[in-house]
Amino acid sequence: MYIRFDDKVAVITGAGSGLGKSYALYLASRGAKVLVNDIGVFPDKTGSSHQVARLVAEEIDSRGGSAKANFENVAEADCAQRIINDALEHFGGVDILINNAGILRDKTILKMPTEDFDQVLGVHLYGTFYVTRAAFAIMKEKHYGRIVLTTSSAGLYGNFGQTNYSAAKMGIVGFMNALKLEGKKYGILTNTIAPLAATPLALSAGIFPKQLTSRLTPGLVTPLVAFLCSDACQSCGEIFSAGGGYFAKAQTVEGPGVRFDPAHEITPEMVAENFGAILNMKGARPFDSAIDELHHVLAPLMDNS
């Protein structure tokens, strides 16, 4: 099996540098037509340039591929719609969407202006929603689509000074958990990655030691993303950690828990006495949906009714 993307159109946000650029070049090298979206904001927030997206598109074209640069802001609904419209007008469709655009505004919660919180949610969470909604309509008509969202270990596990970023990135997981159910019946498969890479954004924030940058290149995340965008992938609703040659599934699970008889009074003291068992994760299990978890909770109650 050799994975290719001939006759497929990929829209990649934040594709002017870092991970997005790596995805764009790689998918194009395997036949995809690529809309390279990037507003071009510099990591140090000193300005912006459309040149970053344009250069990636020109590099793809110079290698015999097909690409178009797009400079719209994912954080604005009308602009996000224009991103998808641009792909439709230039390439005639949208088959693949990689939501990769992102910014950082790190501060501890008491020092964080509301504007910084809003901007991070605007790009990451709202941007994901706006662009995905626009692309989803096209994919639904075709009964085909591959959508890759981007979370972070900061969202999955937390990180000091990133309440805005962590909230946005965990929100994206919740977004996927619902979207996977809506899309799967139309052949639209959505998965989420938590990438670890020494991108310009990460380096500007001083996240990684410089001696590790050569081992944390964006190209070491790209193979997983390319697979998730392909016909070979039939997974839907999964979260994957990727970086430095490491690939792993991440998952939300629920422990076996403790059941009290709801016909009798349940007190805080009873919770305290059983708190160790409540915390126990041995035999923890995942759920496919909120309804699946609800059935798990209610089934014994129905049996005893």
Catalytic center residues: 165
Structure tokens belonging to residue 198:
């020494």
* Rg, C-alpha atoms of the chain: 21
How far apart, in whole angstroms, are the C-alpha atoms of residue 106 and residue 116?
Answer: 8
Q: What is the DSSP letter of 262?
A: T
Number of other CB atoms surrounding residue 169 within 10 Å: 27
Q: How remote is the C-alpha of 277 from its chain's centroid?
A: 34
- Output the CA torsion sign for 70, 76, 81, 84: positive
Structure tokens belonging to residue 132:
């995905």
How far apart, in whole angstroms, are the C-alpha atoms of residue 228 and residue 196?
Answer: 17
Look up tokens 């035999």; give the residue: 283
Structure tokens belonging to residue 290:
């909120």
How far apart, in whole angstroms, are the C-alpha atoms of residue 27 and residue 37?
Answer: 14
Cα distance between the two ends of the chain: 54
